Copies of this chain bind each other. A is one copy, B any other.
């Protein structure tokens, strides 16, 4: 379930006017911006963008970027984009930032459905005039390229059929590959980028039954090069995306120096989907409410905005 709390909206035009008002004078009224945009769903936000453009002949997102700054700006910017367009931006930024961010590419392409991922690829065309796989491939080499290109190009079957024998065979292939360390990358890539998620979960379960340890735990023991890190993300995202997101949030908050990008990414992309469930998993795991942990780590309008998306009522 979502955390986003919708407030009554009179009209997109009235929201646009209120935002325009908030931009007036020296410095912007962050509170007003949050009071409006933090309580509108994806459809309403796009309508506000349109209304603002019509009334003021100005791009609302560009205006927001010039009015606010820092983490608050980045969060509002991502929030204002349509989901597929936002994911296209997140992947493009990750490609440019290099290997330490490749888990974001793996996360997005493993969590989305086949249709959603395709919408991201289409949004990427529109925005960057290149294909997503083209940019990924041009920035990587070897097995890491093969894995990442396979992930962003995947169009997985989504039926719920499970081939039990295949799960057994491929659990063995994965086990052999991981055991030998110099993993048989090609087969691991083939299995993880082409099989249906339902089939993969069956394979991961078979792995645990057979070897008494989950495949992700086994991978953590391995030398953690970039390839293994991406692999790890893929398996976690396919196995249990909500649990995966909880861990991203936990790491973002608890590690030395808050990881605002990770925090913003999860909250902005999940607020209209399943952030409520992720919050519950967070509480179960940490015995602290996510809002309380977040409150201690960040500040200002950024904090107010993130807490609003987390469902906090004034």
List residues of A whose CB falls within 8 A of some B CB: 118, 121-122, 125, 129-134, 137-138, 141-142, 145-146, 149-150, 153-159, 161, 186, 190, 193-196
Contact = CB atoms under 8 A, between A and B. Distances in A.
19 contacts: A122-B155, A125-B155, A125-B158, A125-B159, A129-B157, A129-B159, A129-B161, A131-B154, A131-B196, A132-B155, A133-B153, A133-B155, A137-B193, A138-B190, A138-B194, A145-B190, A146-B146, A150-B153, A153-B154
A276 B121 CA distance: 34
A154 B9 CA distance: 42
Decide if the interface of chain A is mainly helix, strand, loop or mixed: helix
B133 A194 contact: yes
Contacts of A158: 125
Given A131-B155, A150-B153, A157-B129, A137 B190 contact: yes
Nearest to A122: B155
Contacts of A146: 146
Given A153-B150, A194-B133, A186 B125 contact: no
A157 B145 contact: no
A131 B194 contact: yes
